[in-house]
């Protein structure tokens, strides 16, 4: 893994003006982004999130998952806190890629759950790796984190690269009639800590 910093620009959003830092994995060609807000101080715990790409949820308003809701809430929380970061990692579909995720969704439309669908396609339930986060966090100057996630594997990934995760901040938003079973499988089979996901089912057919 070789991560190269490329450039930084402003990213105005509904929640405030973030800075957007672009990185390239020169071995795989994958392009990753770190968003930062406010001043980050290596001596102070920073509110942050590692977010894996979900084109359908983050950009296409899908209600099949909670991804878009989590991303927006994380950005809002960071802006309200006055500082923070999001590492936006290009590992779509828990690492299987967009087209395979659509294949998996096709199987889920026929009754498989999110784990079974991956496995029927010959993939592990979660193929993600987090080795790119160390150079990205080093670049933005973060060492202590209040990590917004329900996923214990992300906490471990941070700790494995030497980050001090001073707190796990639950990010339980976006539950609706279309993703209820998906969230239950994440909790039952993938170990996500999701006891109190907020039910915001105001979406009609
Ligand atoms: N293979 C597969 N991937 C999915 C499905 N639904 C969502 N995803 C992907 O799951 C990933 C979710 O990423 P995150 O929201 O960062 O992480 P998480 O593991 O849910 O953990 P949190 O930090 O608690 O949100 C994204 O890469 C999505 O594209 C699905 O049904 N099948």
Q: Which residues of the chain have pLDDT under 70?
A: 196-205
The catalytic site residues sit at 126, 128
Cα 59 to middle of ligand 1, angstroms: 14
Nearest residue to 94 (alpha-carbon basis) of 136, 133, 65: 65
Q: What is the pTM of this model?
A: 0.94
CA 97 to chain centre: 15
The token duo for 32 is 């990753």
User: Computed over its alpha carbons, how large is the radius of gyration of the chain?
Assistant: 17
Q: In angstroms, rounded to a whole number, what is the distance separating the alpha carbons of residues 10 and 8?
A: 7
Q: In angstroms, rounded to a whole number, what is the distance separating the alpha carbons of residues 104 and 115?
A: 9
Beta-carbon contacts of residue 194 (< 8 Å; ≥ 6 apart)? 150, 172, 183, 186, 187
Predicted confidence (pLDDT) per residue in 144-187, tens digit: 999 999 999 999 999 999 999 999 999 999 999 999 888 888 88
**Core vs surface per residue 146-179: b (16+ CB within 10 A) or e:** bbbbbbeebbebbeeeebebeebeebbbbbbeeb
For residue 200, what pLDDT is reported?
57
For residue 203, what pLDDT is reported?
52
Q: Is the ipTM of this complex over 0.95?
A: yes
Q: Nearest residue CA, atom 8 of ligand 1? A: 93
49 is in an annotated binding site: yes
Say yes or no: CB of residue 118 within 6 Å of ligand 1: yes
């Amino acid at each position: 893994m070789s991560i190269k910093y490329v450039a930084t620009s402003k990213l105005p959003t509904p929640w405030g003006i973030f800075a957007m830092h672009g990185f390239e994995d020169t071995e795989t060609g994958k392009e990753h982004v770190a968003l930062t807000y406010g001043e980050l101080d290596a001596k102070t715990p920073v509110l942050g999130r590692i977010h894996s790409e979900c084109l359908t949820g983050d950009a296409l308003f899908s209600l099949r998952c909670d991804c878009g809701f989590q991303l927006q809430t994380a950005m809002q929380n960071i802006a309200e806190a006055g500082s923070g970061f999001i590492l936006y990692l290009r590992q779509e579909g828990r690492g299987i890629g967009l087209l395979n995720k659509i294949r998996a969704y096709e199987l889920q439309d026929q009754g498989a759950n999110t784990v079974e669908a991956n496995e029927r396609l010959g993939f592990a339930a979660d193929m993600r790796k987090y080795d790119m986060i160390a150079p990205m966090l080093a670049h933005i100057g973060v060492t202590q984190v209040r990590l917004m996630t329900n996923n214990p594997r992300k906490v471990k990934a941070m700790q494995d690269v030497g980050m001090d995760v001073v707190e796990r901040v639950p990010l339980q938003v976006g539950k609706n009639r279309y993703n209820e079973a998906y969230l239950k499988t994440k909790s039952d089979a993938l170990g996500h800590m999701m006891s109190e996901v907020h039910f915001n089912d105001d979406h009609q057919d």
